[in-house]
Amino acid sequence: MILFYSASGNTEYVARTLAKTLGDECIDLLDRIKKSDFTRIYSKKPFVICTPVYVCDMPFFIRNYIKKLPFRGSREVYYVFTSGGYAGISGWSAKKLTKRKNMIYKGHAELKMPSNNIVSNAYPDTEPEECLKRIKDCTAKAAEIADTIRQHGRLRARHIFLFEKAIAVPVGYYWIRYKQPSKDFYTTDKCVGCGKCSRLCPVNNIEMYKKRPVWKAPCAHCMACISNCPFEAIEYADITQKKIKYNISKYTDMTKLRKSQTRR
Ligand SMILES: Cc1cc2nc3c(=O)[nH]c(=O)nc-3n(C[C@H](O)[C@H](O)[C@H](O)COP(=O)(O)O)c2cc1C
């Protein structure tokens, strides 16, 4: 059973590729997270949790959701992280989370995908050619990961050092609280008030007011709003105007991949 959350499509691409290769079911967790739906999930096959990396760790809202979600059937859990190149302490967090749930941690994989963090000047745009290369490399790696999972083997990623934990935990805490303001999001005249941004916000942070989105706090800075706006009408401070609004569907046909798969 493949479970995923994805803001701009990278993780969804990996999750659906794994599901296709393994002939397994795939669940998009967005609606469940939004509605705090903790209906138990049953699978005979191992659980594979696919998530992006935010600030060197698993996104807090995914971790909090998985923490409370009852898993039935298989006791084995794999994690697959997509990041712009540094997954930080995500594997360590995943291991702790799995042990707390009395399940068997079967390791994690880290996949380098295009960075979608376009509201930060710290991350330059990933060039289109590089985006295509990373997506292609990931497709090959997903096949290897699927092989390991099929054989109930262990996924092995790099070692996470103590100094990484010592830095990432306080930095993440500070960054999420103080460096991710939502007040800098705004819409331009291109906004038609369709409300897609509000529907895709995993933490229900965007309210429609007079047919325009209003961002509240706390924002997860996941980029779901800005990277899925059909009119590219969302901007952030003076940072995003000239940047590519990254979404994987600009590089690969997601509709085809989604077609054959179950969604709950
Ligand atoms: C708020 C935020 C923080 C991020 N932090 C990291 C990071 O610490 N390291 C990294 O390599 N990529 C980072 N990224 C990039 C994403 O992890 C990466 O693009 C991921 O594949 C996005 O997945 P998605 O398209 O499924 O949402 C960050 C992205 C966002 C939006």
User: In which band, very low, low, confident or very high, does the pLDDT at 264 lie, cut at 50, 70 and 90?
Assistant: very low
If you average pLDDT over residues 71-91, what whole number do you get?
98
Domain 180-236: assigned CATH number? 3.30.70.20
**pLDDT at residue 97 is higher than 50:** yes
**pLDDT at residue 24 is higher than 90:** yes
Residue 35: the pLDDT is 98
Atom of ligand 1 nearest to the CA of 222: 31
Gap between the Cα atoms of 175 and 120, Å rounded: 12
If you average pLDDT over residues 193-212, what whole number do you get?
97
Would the CB of 52 count as within 6 Å of ligand 1?
yes
**pLDDT at residue 88 is higher than 90:** yes
CB 14 within 8 A of CB 37: no
If you average pLDDT over residues 111-129, what whole number do you get?
92
Residue 51 CA, distance from chain mean position = 4
User: In which band, very low, low, confident or very high, does the pLDDT at 125 lie, cut at 50, 70 and 90?
Assistant: confident
Would the CB of 202 count as within 6 Å of ligand 1?
no
Residue 261: the pLDDT is 72
- Percent of the chain's residues with pLDDT above 90: 92
Atom of ligand 1 nearest to the CA of 220: 1
**pLDDT at residue 8 is higher than 80:** yes
User: In which band, very low, low, confident or very high, does the pLDDT at 262 lie, cut at 50, 70 and 90?
Assistant: low
Exposure string for 23-57, b = 16+ CB within 10 A, e = fewer? ebbbbbbbebbbeeeeeebebebbbbbbbbbbbbb
Select the more confidently predicted residue: 63 or 261.
63
Torsion angles phi and psi, residue 69, rounded to 5 = -80, 120
**Mutation test residue for ligand 1: of 13, 108, 117, 258, the one with most atoms within 8 Å of CB:** 117
Mind listing the pLDDT tens digit for each residue in 224-240? Answer: 999 999 999 999 999 99
What letter would DSSP give residue 5?
-
**Mutation test residue for ligand 1: of 50, 115, 118, 179, the one with most atoms within 8 Å of CB:** 115
CB 60 within 8 A of CB 176: yes
Distance 87 CA to ligand 1 centre (A): 9
Residue 217: the pLDDT is 86
Gap between the Cα atoms of 52 and 87, Å rounded: 9
Q: Which residues of the chain form CATH 3.30.70.20?
A: 180-236
Mean pLDDT estimate for the chain:
96
User: In which band, very low, low, confident or very high, does the pLDDT at 128 lie, cut at 50, 70 and 90?
Assistant: very high
Residue 229: the pLDDT is 98
Two tokens at 39?
């209906």
CATH 1.10.12.10 fits 2-162+249-255, yes or no: no
Q: Which residues of the chain form CATH 3.40.50.360?
A: 2-162+249-255
**pLDDT at residue 263 is higher than 80:** no
Distance 44 CA to ligand 1 centre (A): 31
If you average pLDDT over residues 150-162, what whole number do you get?
96
